[in-house]
Amino acid sequence: MKSVQWHDTHITILNQQALPHKTEYLELKNIKDVWDAIVALKVRGAPAIGMTAAFGLALAAKSYETNDLAQFHANLKRDRDYLASSRPTAVNLFWALDRLMKSVANATSVNEAKTTLIHEAICIQVEDEDVCRRIGEHALSLFQDGDRIMTICNAGAIATARYGTALAPFHLAKEKEMTLHAYACETRPVLQGARLTAWELSQAGVDVTLITDNMAAQTMKAKRISAVIVGADRIAANGDTANKIGTLGLAILANAFNIPFYVAAPLSTIDLQTETGDDIPIEERAKEEVTHIAGVNIAPNVNVYNPAFDVTPHELITGIITEKGIVSGDYKTKLPTLFEGVFT
Ligand code: MRU
């Protein structure tokens, strides 16, 4: 099941807001459709947001009528900035858009640039599948048959090109006939854990148990959780990690129970330009996400604070699992070494 797919005249996305009740694909025909889909979380998860924005920029560029390269670049910059305004936290969005911009910096004609953009967006998607598989292999080396592993949000196949990041070891374990038990936190307010992770893992035949977010401590203790693994939206140069709201709480609990806490993410989520977690912009979303559940109002009309992400300080992270291997300890020194020989 592909989260996003390019088709010359449009893009299709799996509508993640309709899951788990309906498996529905939406056609995005122009840049506004793409922006709206990202903002409305119809496509979500850092790598999937990046891929969709990349396809969106390639789609927009395809419709430019000019043959003048300077005008082409001006239009492209305008549309890059528009797509970049959709969500602020996941750095994969900016990484993917800027990778497309760089790919055409030396284009010699508008036609060549249009073809290059499509090619580059497809490359991002193809590479992401391989990257996620490698993340899964590295993650799996940390786990043993029968382990009980907790996760939050959905860092799965539908949030990436395939396999996912934090969910990749569960998918790979299944391929290798190894048993990992997943404990999925429901992930209020938008319920990515209940609606998406529980669905994705059960579809894949992985043993998954759903809990509400406030059951995490009791579950860690009563079910003897072996490890926690989460995805990431942005990892700062010192290892501080922004991920779905609730992640910080799990990291603190894991620390209290002496349970390893892992972050699984591609290099495209590591932002060496952002020094620490304090510099990561945290998206705040509409109050209705908190006051309503599935469209039903559950709260009086009061003030609401709805940060979509939180930042886990690097000291609470046992290891960061990337496609290039696992780093731990002195992240500030070690994270840059992962980029040696990598196109940025
Ligand atoms: O608001 P969302 O659903 O886009 O948040 C997603 C997450 O926090 C994921 O854990 C993260 O993007 C990693 S997806 C592989």
pLDDT digits (tens, 9 = 90+) for 229-253: 999 999 999 999 999 999 999 999 9
Cβ < 6 Å from ligand 1: which residues? 41, 44-47, 90, 153, 155, 159-160, 164-165, 192, 231-233, 243-244, 308
> If you ran DSSP here, which 8-state letter would residue 194 be given?
I
Is-same-fold flag (4-131; 134-339)?
A: no
Pick the CATH number of 4-131 from 1.20.120.420, 3.90.180.10, 3.40.50.720, 3.40.920.10: 1.20.120.420
Prediction ipTM score: 0.99
How far apart, in whole angstroms, are the C-alpha atoms of residue 333 and residue 287? 40
Half-sphere exposure of 21 (CA within 13 A, CB side): 3
> If you ran DSSP here, which 8-state letter would residue 134 be given?
H
Looking at the DSSP assignment, which residues form a beta bridge with residue 326? 321
210 falls in which pLDDT band (50, 70, 90)? very high
344 falls in which pLDDT band (50, 70, 90)? low
Place of tokens 């129970």: 257
Binding-site residue ranges: 44-46, 87, 192, 243-244
Atom of ligand 1 nearest to the CA of 166: 15
Residue 128 annotated to the active site: no
Confidence check: pLDDT of 220 > 70: yes
- pLDDT averaged over every residue in the chain: 97
The H or E element that residue 151 is part of is strand 148-151
- Tell me the longest C-alpha to C-alpha distance in the chain: 66
DSSP class per residue in 94-106: HHHHHHHHHHTTT
Report pLDDT for 342.
72
How far apart, in whole angstroms, are the C-alpha atoms of residue 137 and residue 322? 10
> If you ran DSSP here, which 8-state letter would residue 69 be given?
H
Which of 153, 247, 321 most suits a substitution to test ligand 1, by most atoms within 8 Å of the C-beta?
A: 153
Provide the CATH number for the domain formed by 134-339 in this structure.
3.40.50.10470
pLDDT tens sequence across 121-150: 999 999 999 999 999 999 999 999 999 999
Which of 44, 133, 268 most suits a substitution to test ligand 1, by most atoms within 8 Å of the C-beta?
A: 44
How far apart, in whole angstroms, are the C-alpha atoms of residue 277 and residue 126? 30
CA 49 / ligand 1 centre spacing (Å)? 9
**pTM strictly above 0.95:** yes
Atom of ligand 1 nearest to the CA of 167: 15
Q: Helix 31-39 vs helix 69-84: angle between axes, to the nearest 10 degrees?
A: 20
Looking at the DSSP assignment, which residues form a beta bridge with residue 186? none
- Taking a C-beta distance cutoff of 8 angstroms, is the pair 233, 309 a contact? yes
How far apart, in whole angstroms, are the C-alpha atoms of residue 50 and residue 120? 12
CA 48 / ligand 1 centre spacing (Å)? 9
3-state helix, strand, coil in the chain (%, to 5): 45, 20, 40
Nearest residue (by CA) to ligand 1, atom 6, is 45
CA 124 / ligand 1 centre spacing (Å)? 18
Confidence check: pLDDT of 322 > 90: yes
CA 109 / ligand 1 centre spacing (Å)? 37
Can you give the residue ranges of every domain in the chain?
4-131, 134-339
